[in-house]
Structure 1
Amino acid sequence: MARKIPWIGTSWKMNKLRADAQSFARTLAASPVAQATNCQPFVIPPFPYIAEVAQLLSGTKVKIGAQNMHWADQGAWTGEVSAPMVKDCGATLVELGHSERRAHFGETDETVALKTQAALKHGLTALVCIGDTKAEFDSGQTAEALERQVRGLLKYVSKEASGKVIIAYEPVWSIGEGGTPATPEFANEQHIKIAALVQKLTGGSLPILYGGSVNPQNCVALANQSHIDGLFIGRSAWDAASYISIVQSVTESLS
Structure 2
Amino acid sequence: MSKMPESKVGSKLVIGNWKMHGGLRGNEALLQALTHGTKAMSPGLRIGLCVPFPYLAQAQQLLGDSRIEWGAQDLSSHDEGAYTGEVSASMVADFGARYAIVGHSERREYHREGAILVAEKAERALEAGLTPIVCVGETKEEREFAFTERVLSAQLDAVLDRLSVEQAASIVLAYEPVWAIGSGSSASCEDVRDVHHFLRQHLAQKGPAVARIPVLYGGSVKPDNAAGLFSVPEVDGGLVGGASLDAEQFLAICEAAAGTIGMVAAHHDHTGC
TM-score, length basis structure 1: 0.94
Distance in structure 1 (CA, Å) of the matches to 2:129 and 2:42: 23
Q: In 2, are the aligned partners of 1:130 and 1:169 still within 8 Å (CA)? A: yes
Alignment partner of 1:142 is 2:151: no
Q: In 1, are the aligned partners of 2:45 and 2:257 still within 8 Å (CA)? A: no
Q: In 1, are the aligned partners of 2:16 and 2:241 still within 8 Å (CA)? A: yes
- Cα drift, residue 35 of structure 1: 6.6
Q: How does 1:118-197 map to 2 (within 5 A)?
A: 118-176=124-182, 178-197=183-202
Query: SS of 1:217's equivalent?
Result: helix
User: What percentage of residue pairs aligned between the two structures are identical?
Assistant: 34
Alignment partner of 1:76 is 2:78: no
Alignment partner of 1:42 is 2:48: yes
Query: Any stretches of 5+ residues in structure 1 without a counterpart?
Result: none
Higher relative contact order (CA 8 A, sep 6+): 2
Q: In 2, are the aligned partners of 1:33 and 1:247 still within 8 Å (CA)? A: no
- Cα drift, residue 61 of structure 1: 1.9
Structure 1, 212-221 or 161-170: larger mean CA deviation? 161-170
- Cα drift, residue 72 of structure 1: 1.3
Structure 1, 47-56 or 201-210: larger mean CA deviation? 201-210
The one-character-per-residue Cα deviations of 1:80-106 (angstroms, maximum 9, x if unpaired) are 100110011221110000000000112
Query: SS of 1:182's equivalent?
Result: coil
* Alignment counterpart, residue 230 of structure 1, candidates 231, 237, 261: 237
Q: In 2, are the aligned partners of 1:158 and 1:202 still within 8 Å (CA)? A: no
Alignment partner of 1:239 is 2:246: yes
The number of aligned residues is 253
> CA 1:172–1:39 in 2, change beyond 3 Å: closer, same or farther?
same
TM-score, length basis structure 2: 0.88
Distance in structure 1 (CA, Å) of the matches to 2:186 and 2:52: 25
Which amino acid in structure 1 is aligned with residue 130 of structure 2?
A: L
Distance in structure 2 (CA, Å) of the matches to 1:34 and 1:58: 17
Q: Which residue of 2 aligns with 1:198?
A: 203
Q: Which residue of 1 aligns with 2:19?
A: 13
Distance in structure 1 (CA, Å) of the matches to 2:184 and 2:113: 21
Query: Any stretches of 5+ residues in structure 2 without a counterpart?
Result: 1-7, 263-273
Root mean square deviation of aligned Cα = 1.6
The one-character-per-residue Cα deviations of 1:47-89 (angstroms, maximum 9, x if unpaired) are 1001111210112221101000012111111111001100112
Query: SS of 1:43's equivalent?
Result: strand
